[in-house]
Amino acid sequence: MKVLVAVKRVIDANVKVRVKADGTGVETTNVKMSMNPFDEIGIEEAIRLKEAGKATEVIALSAGVQQCQETLRTALAMGADRGILIQTDAELQPLAVAKLFKAVVEKEQPQLVILGKQAIDDDCNQTGQMLSTLLGWAQGTFASKLEPNGDSLTVTREVDGGLETVALKMPAVITTDLRLNEPRYASLPNIMKAKKKPIETLTPDELGVDVSPRLKTLKVVEPPPRKSGVRVSSVAELVDKLRNEAKVI
Amino acid sequence: MAIDFSPTDEQRMLVETVRQFVEKEIFPYEAEVDRAGDVPEALGKQIRDRAMAQGLYAANMPESVGGGGLDAVSMTLFDRELGKATWGLAGYVGRPSEILMACAGDQIDRYLTPCVRGERKDCFALSEPDAGSDAMAITTRAERRGGDWVLNGTKHFISGVGTPDFAIVFAVTGVEESGGKGGGRPRKRITAFLVDRDTPGFEMRRGPRCVSYRTYNNYELSFTDCRIGADQVLGEEGAGFDLANRWLSGTRILVAATCCGKAERALTMATEWAATRKQFGQTIGRFQGTSFKLADMATELRAADLLTLNAAWKYDHGTMTSGDAAMAKLFASEMLGRVTDNALQIFGGMGLMEELPVERFWRDARIERIWEGTSEIQRHIISRELLRPLES
């Protein structure tokens, strides 16, 4: 089984994100970038499938600027076998990414595609679902457990009401949730080995995909600052404030 | 480009791995071991085993002997991250003495290889009660008896984590016929020996408690008619100092790199505190008394980082002088003293409380200006390099 895992280069989770002064987006100059944490979980799951003898090859896939190579290199150091970068300076929206990934899927013919449930930059939570629809494949989103058995896949999903277990026919698209696994960090020997692993570079043109944006960003603003709280002296006062001031109960 | 400060992909990932290792495997235990004054054996073993699983153990040793094979610049970046943790625990991420590369014949299987594999631990025994900065003043001696050597003398401040399995002991084995340079005292012939802990006549005991790195042990070693075979000589007889000098500069870069890491940790904490702690109706970072301190700390840290990386880069290119390593060690360790002192000042009274690690950073920083050559010795090395070419 060939597994394709999408990895996105995003602002590091520990960075305090700032909105650009002109309101066109967030500040990314001199900001630490890392692999989207949900994608790290995706890579980890694929490597575990390979270690368990269930996957034969793990391919890391990214789309975006040239520096996404760094993200792919991290995936290779974790244990992926090779990388593919669809290189473009264009702004990529989920639908465009899904179309690009579909083109790569058709080329590579994996049985399983794993994506993060969302990227921590725009929090869209769309690409996996769009990709599965474009491919006409089954989807198991928000996965917290994966069990491949032959041609099918049992996926435990984290849904609002608790856990839902679904059986999917492969090929399938999976999106990872936080509790699927705890990703490893690259060991020194694997970091050195990653240097020799290949990264193939493609372009949207080569894949015949129009990536022009369908959505227009009007303005990006900081969320309103949180007002400081008040101390209440009794439960009765709390209930009163919730009912009459906040009007939430 | 003549000057390129950007790390390679490998170096970037290496830093990330060491950073995560330190934050996950070491930081959570620092306060408790420091308070207890001791590291439980199981914890030391756990850190060692996990470091091995990550390939971080013996990263300083060449690949040909099973080490990580990192160049000096990569090793400096590695040490900078590892150095953020207390030596008392970071020491378990093993780093065999590079001097063991001088092992020959069956010494390789008895000492070098087991150290790289984490099966045995060495200690570097040079200092003596009457021979600190003046290393040439050592009096531990080894005399030939039959085909063997007999050791007598005392070593102290022999530091490391856990208990070493053998010592690399420097002892006097004679005096040069020609005498010292410039008519000084006669030059001693000094030889390095590999001495197993269980050798009769070799005693090892814990030394006094140290205020810096409370859990980083220091041992006193004593040798009383301790008889060892001729095959226990490391390198050539009489060449012990040359051997030691060949890698002492490397350990000075190591100290400099760890000081930079430690300073960054203290600076980060102080900055976060200054940005949130309010007094007189505003964050204390808004007061120039605090903000300018932070500016100085960050600037000095940057300078120390560049000095250290420059020395490492020259090491890799075979152009590093003793002065280059001395400058990095001198400036970085003194910078750390100022940065931790300022960090403590920014934290005020809280900085002195054991609830926060700031007091520990401040205590731990003090030893950095003393070990691996005091600041005074580093200045001596640097000034000798300036003056010697002009003196007749």
Query: In this structure, what token pair is assigned to residue B19?
Result: 């950073």
The one-letter amino acid code at B373 reads G
Helix (H, G, I), strand (E, B) or coil at A86: strand
The interface predicted TM-score (ipTM) is 0.85
Min CA distance, B234 vs chain A (Å)? 30
The verdict on B263 and B377 lying in the same domain is: yes
Do the Cβ atoms of A188 and B53 come within 8 Å? no
Segment holding A35, helix H or strand E: strand A33-35
Strands (E), B258-374: 278-279, 282-283
Do the Cβ atoms of B54 and A188 come within 8 Å? yes
Helix (H, G, I), strand (E, B) or coil at A75: helix
Q: Is A228 on the interface with B (CB under 8 A)?
A: no
| List of chain B residues whose C-beta atoms are within 8 Å of the C-beta of residue A77 | 13
The verdict on B250 and B327 lying in the same domain is: yes
Q: Is B56 on the interface with A (CB under 8 A)?
A: yes
Span of A195-199, B99-103, B232-236, B242-246 with lowest mean pLDDT: B242-246
The verdict on B125 and B215 lying in the same domain is: yes
Instruction: Give me the pLDDT at residue B182, please.
Output: 55
Mind telling me the catalytic residues of B? Answer: 372
User: In chain A, what are the domain boundaries?
Assistant: 2-244
| List of chain B residues whose C-beta atoms are within 8 Å of the C-beta of residue A73 | 9, 13
Q: Is residue B3 part of a domain?
A: no
Give the DSSP letter of residue B37: T
Q: Is residue B269 part of a domain?
A: yes
Residue in the structure block whose two tokens are 């007061």: B287
B22: closest chain A residue by CA: A185
Kindly tell me the sign of the dihedral angle through the C-alpha atoms of B98, B101, B107, B108. Answer: positive
Do the Cβ atoms of B14 and A195 come within 8 Å? no
| List of chain A residues whose C-beta atoms are within 8 Å of the C-beta of residue B94 | none
Q: Is residue B143 part of a domain?
A: yes
Query: In this structure, what token pair is assigned to residue B62?
Result: 């060449």
For chain A, give the percent of residues with pLDDT over 70: 100
Instruction: Give me the pLDDT at residue B1, please.
Output: 47
Size of interface A-B (CB pairs under 8 A): 42
B55: closest chain A residue by CA: A188
Instruction: Give me the pLDDT at residue B247, please.
Output: 76
Angle at the Cα of A69 from the Cα atoms of A63 and A73, rounded to 5 degrees: 120
Do the Cβ atoms of A188 and B12 come within 8 Å? no
Instruction: Give me the pLDDT at residue B245, please.
Output: 85
d(Cα B112, Cα B97) in Å, to the nearest integer? 9
Give the DSSP letter of residue A136: T
Do the Cβ atoms of A189 and B55 come within 8 Å? yes
Tally of domains within chain B: 3
Integer CA distances (angstroms), B130 to B158, B201, B227, B317, in order: 14, 21, 23, 37
Min CA distance, B79 vs chain A (Å)? 14
> What tens digit of pLDDT does each residue of A159-190 get?
999 999 999 999 999 999 999 999 999 999 99
- Contacts of B103 by beta carbon, 8 Å cutoff, 6+ apart: B111, B112, B194, B234
The verdict on B86 and B139 lying in the same domain is: no
For chain B, give the percent of residues with pLDDT over 70: 98
d(Cα A71, Cα A83) in Å, to the nearest integer? 10
> What tens digit of pLDDT does each residue of B283-315 get?
999 999 999 999 999 999 999 999 999 999 999
User: What average pLDDT does the segment B230-234 reach?
Assistant: 96
d(Cα A1, Cα B246) in Å, to the nearest integer? 53
Q: Can you say whether residue A82 is alpha, beta or left, with left for phi > 0 and alpha for psi between -120 and 50 degrees? A: beta
The verdict on B136 and B203 lying in the same domain is: yes
Q: Is residue B203 part of a domain?
A: yes
The verdict on B334 and B317 lying in the same domain is: yes
| List of chain B residues whose C-beta atoms are within 8 Å of the C-beta of residue A70 | 9, 12
CATH number where B74 lies: 1.10.540.10
The verdict on B84 and B189 lying in the same domain is: no
Q: Is B17 on the interface with A (CB under 8 A)?
A: yes
Instruction: Give me the pLDDT at residue B2, please.
Output: 67
Q: Is residue B71 part of a domain?
A: yes
Angle at the Cα of A48 from the Cα atoms of A46 and A49, rounded to 5 degrees: 65
The verdict on B272 and B287 lying in the same domain is: yes
- Contacts of A233 by beta carbon, 8 Å cutoff, 6+ apart: none
Do the Cβ atoms of A191 and B17 come within 8 Å? yes
Query: In this structure, what token pair is assigned to residue B167?
Result: 């010592």
Integer CA distances (angstroms), B36 to B33, B214, B346, B352, B360, in order: 5, 9, 27, 18, 13
Query: In this structure, what token pair is assigned to residue A119?
Result: 């990227």
| List of chain A residues whose C-beta atoms are within 8 Å of the C-beta of residue B54 | 185, 187-188
Task: Compare CB distances from B56 to A70, A73, A188 and report the shortest one's residue.
Answer: A188
User: What average pLDDT does the segment A143-154 reach?
Assistant: 94
Compute the residue count for chain A: 249
User: What average pLDDT does the segment A2-11 reach?
Assistant: 98
Q: Is A70 on the interface with B (CB under 8 A)?
A: yes
Q: In terms of residue numbers, what domain contains B54? A: 9-95
User: Whole-prediction pTM value?
Assistant: 0.90
Q: Is residue B104 part of a domain?
A: no
Cβ A169 vs Cβ A188: under 8 Å: no
- Was domain A2-244 assigned CATH 3.40.50.620? yes
The verdict on B90 and B133 lying in the same domain is: no
Strands B166-175 and A199-202: unpaired
The verdict on B251 and B384 lying in the same domain is: yes
The verdict on B43 and B172 lying in the same domain is: no
> What tens digit of pLDDT does each residue of B166-186 get?
999 999 999 987 655 555 678
Min CA distance, A188 vs chain B (Å)? 5
End-to-end CA distance of chain A: 52
CATH number where B322 lies: 1.20.140.10
